[in-house]
Chain A
């Protein structure tokens, strides 16, 4: 009896499978094309990104099928897809390329770049450097954001400062901030500048401007206690001479998004953010009288910014590499970059220098040229790829310890350095073990 039941079940399953095969969607022109599976992190307006629409319209033999993945936990989704052995052909991610490349998760693109004489000088240099790990290239930059200093002209005027002369260096940031900060009944109601507000780490920028490298050239010894880093943390600590961390944190607790954002709500007068912030101001506070200037310099030195980019890469195990590469080249071309950058609700900055300096793009906003200039002077945040997250967690903790006065900047950085070094040593040992036993996937 069991045998007959089992046979019935198998028959039923086969029947279902057959029926499903019969009712497959009818194929048109699109169905005959070779498919490139493309995963991108959602957050943009369209379900199908413009670059995919343009590519599919221009192509006859390839079709890109795009899948938006939610920002939350997106790394883990890509990770499991690679582990499953059936990843998408192209991924669009933002976390540092070396973090993935060091784990052999991406296909090395050098053979394709050489074969096609692909011009890499089109990219902003710091973005292009981010795409490689140990001399090999694993990705193409796709979009970025360029950071600069936003300043509230009305508040500057109100504080008796010249609205046409924004602070040019970090000393001036401190001086301006003192004059711009207001208290009512002992509570802060407005601040000039807040070093911890925004996505860019102020002491990181200050350290970059002084030439800090954070790690030795071989990439094996962490150098957090270098004088340039210590003085950057010291600057931040001095800044807090007039305020306590707690009262500033409590003040920041009232900030939110949209018109509750600190700068847009005119609770903060000086703020570093990327170019897409222009669109947010236009949407939530169009009358705001503001200006944009280069990021403050350290003394007489250069103004430096930190930038990362969205990038495109072919994950290990991807099936259709050749067509994936064709699509990637299309996305970073000047025309696509221009079309994409200008079509969004919130402007993304092109990685292609020709697109970024195109008169159409620069004409989008009176301050766009400043962002373009700042892009030429950026440094990468990808410093210790093997222990990237530990590095940034420890750096933040060192800042917090120094700011709250738990430790001096030197002590705090020293402790962070020891912790990062311990985990880096572990990671390097594992890296050597794997390198002797596992190949990098070539294009």
Chain B
């Protein structure tokens, strides 16, 4: 008993850098942000408790709140399926044992290591209506390209278009690993039954990789809800607030206006929104995610 106690103490001691870090820089700010969400607080002065007023004003008076929610949901709902399907297709392509496939995997992966800010600056030029590569390419095919980031109708699609950059990144690699882990004899069974490539994909590959897909759906949705850098660098929320994403609005409130209480309330509402979406995903997942070991049933 004594030895166990001692080992436990040592265990905690070794884990303590993480525990202390989490308590100080994770849990404490989370709890404090909830307290501030019930206050008026501009960081430099003392907080004033105002109950649920921040939440009430956000939900019933602040029209930018709904603009930001709509922009973010649009981005999330359009982008998530696109990047998942895109990465999956790319993973299937590079899972073929053809000559030079490793080189292709590397080439596809490289763009994803570029940081968000650099990527945004780069895409500002790519999407430049007059001189950008995107519109010049369209023009080559006789198409008149849109004004992208300058046009409120095209600014969100433009930012979604930027995501193609990351298709070959970590997501593709994980899908590739999952595809390669599918037991070969299942494919053989399908072939014996006379099934083609679609049957192989639909009845073998997809069920086997569904847990991985599910996980990435959750990651990508949470990630998309937090979209920030692109709008912060490229558009500052414009034109006409068409790229005022949730986190950008939160950032404006917190660090431009120093309205930390209001921003904390925004953060908590996003947390609740992400929680609800994830919960729904878990519910729906029972219908389509297959765990070969029976785990998660």
Chain A contact residues, CB within 8 Å of chain B? 2, 75-76, 79, 82-83, 103-105, 246, 249-251, 253-254, 316, 387, 389-390, 393, 397, 400-401, 404, 406, 422-423, 426, 429-430, 433-434, 437-438
Q: Which of B46, B252, B259 contacts A438 (CB 8 A)?
A: B46
Asked whether B257 lies within 8 Å of A82 as measured between CB atoms, the reply is no
B81-89, B123-131, B270-278 - interface stretch: B123-131
Complex A-B: 16 CB contacts under 8 Å: A2-B6, A79-B43, A79-B44, A103-B258, A105-B44, A246-B150, A250-B147, A253-B130, A254-B131, A316-B44, A387-B257, A397-B241, A400-B239, A400-B240, A401-B240, A422-B61
Chain A proximity mask over B212-226: 1 for CB below 8 Å, otherwise 0: 000000000000000
Asked whether A253 lies within 8 Å of B128 as measured between CB atoms, the reply is yes
Indicate whether B157 reaches chain A with its CB closer than 8 angstroms: no
Query: Which residues in A have their C-beta under 8 angstroms from that of B42?
Result: 103, 430
Indicate whether B256 reaches chain A with its CB closer than 8 angstroms: yes
Interface size on B, residues (CB 8 A): 28
Q: Which of A82, A250, A253, A426 has the most CB of B within 10 A?
A: A253
Asked whether B40 lies within 8 Å of A437 as measured between CB atoms, the reply is no
Bound state CA distance, A316 and B61, in angstroms?
Answer: 35
Distance in angstroms from B245 CB to nearest chain A CB is: 15
Bound state CA distance, A83 and B42, in angstroms?
Answer: 11
Q: A76-B255, A254-B130 are in contact. Are A249 and B44 (CB under 8 A)?
A: no
Q: Which residue of B lies closest to A316 (CB)?
A: B44
Helix, strand, loop or mixed for chain A's interface? helix
Distance in angstroms from A415 CB to nearest chain B CB is: 9
Indicate whether B151 reaches chain A with its CB closer than 8 angstroms: yes
A-contacting residues, B238-292, CB 8 Å: 238-241, 252, 255-259
Indicate whether B9 reaches chain A with its CB closer than 8 angstroms: yes
Query: Which residues in B have their C-beta under 8 angstroms from that of A438?
Result: 45-46
Distance in angstroms from A104 CB to nearest chain B CB is: 6
Query: Which residues in B have their C-beta under 8 angstroms from that of A316?
Result: 44
Q: Which of B45, B147, B241, B255 contacts A103 (CB 8 A)?
A: B45
Indicate whether B48 reaches chain A with its CB closer than 8 angstroms: yes
Q: Which residue of B lies closest to A80 (CB)?
A: B43
Distance in angstroms from A316 CB to nearest chain B CB is: 8
Asked whether A434 lies within 8 Å of B240 as measured between CB atoms, the reply is no
Query: Which residues in A have their C-beta under 8 angstroms from that of B129?
Result: 250, 253
Distance in angstroms from A22 CB to nearest chain B CB is: 29
Distance in angstroms from A42 CB to nearest chain B CB is: 19
Distance in angstroms from A439 CB to nearest chain B CB is: 11
Query: Which residues in A have their C-beta under 8 angstroms from that of B57?
Result: 426
Asked whether B43 lies within 8 Å of A249 as measured between CB atoms, the reply is no
Query: Which residues in A have their C-beta under 8 angstroms from that of B147?
Result: 246, 249-250
Q: Which of A254, A389, A430 contacts B40 (CB 8 A)?
A: A430
Bound state CA distance, A406 and B241, in angstroms?
Answer: 13
Q: Which residue of B lies closest to A429 (CB)?
A: B40
Q: Which of A251, A316, A434 has the most CB of B within 10 A?
A: A434
Query: Which residues in B have their C-beta under 8 angstroms from that of A437?
Result: 46
Distance in angstroms from B4 CB to nearest chain A CB is: 15
Asked whether A250 lies within 8 Å of B150 as measured between CB atoms, the reply is yes
Distance in angstroms from A341 CB to nearest chain B CB is: 31
Asked whether B45 lies within 8 Å of A434 as measured between CB atoms, the reply is yes
Q: Which of B43, B45, B240 contacts A404 (CB 8 A)?
A: B240
